Structure 1
Amino acid sequence: MGKVLVLNASYEPLNITSWRRAVVLLIKGKAEQVEHNGKVVYAEMPLPTVIRLRQYVRVPYKEIPLTRRNILHRDAHSCQYCGYSGDDLTLDHVVPRSRGGGDSWENIVTACVRCNVKKGNRTPKEASMLLRQTPHKPHSGLYFEVTKHIKSGLHQEWQKYVIGI
Structure 2
Amino acid sequence: MLMPAAPVRRSLLLNASLEPLCVVSMHRAVLLVLTGKATVLEADDRLLHSERTSLPVPLVLCLTRYVHVPMRRAVPPTRRTVLLRDGHRCAYCSGPADTVDHVLPRSRGGRHEWTNVVAACSRCNNRKSNHLLHEIGWELSFTPRAPRGAAALLSATVRADPSWSPYLADGAAA
TM more than 0.5: yes
Question: Which residue number in structure 1 is paired with residue 3 of structure 2?
Answer: none
* Structure 1 residue runs without a partner (length 5+): 150-154
Contact 2:83 2:97 in 1 (8 A): no
Q: Aligned-pair distance for 1:23?
A: 0.8
Contact 2:97 2:119 in 1 (8 A): no
RMSD: 3.0
1:107 aligns to 2:113 (yes or no):
no
TM-score w.r.t. length of structure 2: 0.71
Alpha-carbon deviations, 1:55-76, whole Å to 9, x = none? 2122222221234453345446
Q: Which has the higher helix share?
A: 2
Contact 2:92 2:139 in 1 (8 A): yes
CA–CA distance in structure 2, aligned partners of residues 124 and 37 of structure 1? 52
Pairwise mapping of residues 81-100 of structure 1 onto structure 2 (< 5 A)? 81-82=92-93, 83-86=95-98, 89=99, 91-96=100-105
1:143 aligns to 2:155 (yes or no):
yes
Q: Aligned-pair distance for 1:101?
A: 5.1
Pairwise mapping of residues 35-50 of structure 1 onto structure 2 (< 5 A)? 35-42=42-49, 43-50=53-60
Question: Which residue number in structure 1 is paired with residue 137 of structure 2?
Answer: 127
CA–CA distance in structure 2, aligned partners of residues 31 and 44 of structure 1? 16
1:158 aligns to what SS in structure 2? helix
Question: Which residue number in structure 1 is paired with residue 64 of structure 2?
Answer: 54
Q: Aligned-pair distance for 1:121?
A: 1.8
TM-score w.r.t. length of structure 1: 0.74
Alpha-carbon deviations, 1:118-164, whole Å to 9, x = none? 23523279624555x65331223113245x32xxxxx3221110122
CA–CA distance in structure 2, aligned partners of residues 138 and 117 of structure 1? 26
CA–CA distance in structure 2, aligned partners of residues 69 and 160 of structure 1? 21
CA–CA distance in structure 2, aligned partners of residues 63 and 57 of structure 1? 20
Question: Which residue number in structure 2 is paired with residue 152 of structure 1?
Answer: none
User: Would you say how many aligned residue pairs link Structure 1 and Structure 2?
Assistant: 155
Question: Which residue number in structure 1 is paired with residue 5 of structure 2?
Answer: none
CA–CA distance in structure 2, aligned partners of residues 156 and 59 of structure 1? 25
2:68 aligns to what SS in structure 1? coil
Contact 1:96 1:123 in 2 (8 A): no
Contact 2:12 2:164 in 1 (8 A): yes
* Structure 2 residue runs without a partner (length 5+): 1-7
Q: Aligned-pair distance for 1:85?
A: 4.6
Question: Which residue number in structure 2 is paired with residue 66 of structure 1?
Answer: 77
2:69 aligns to what SS in structure 1? coil
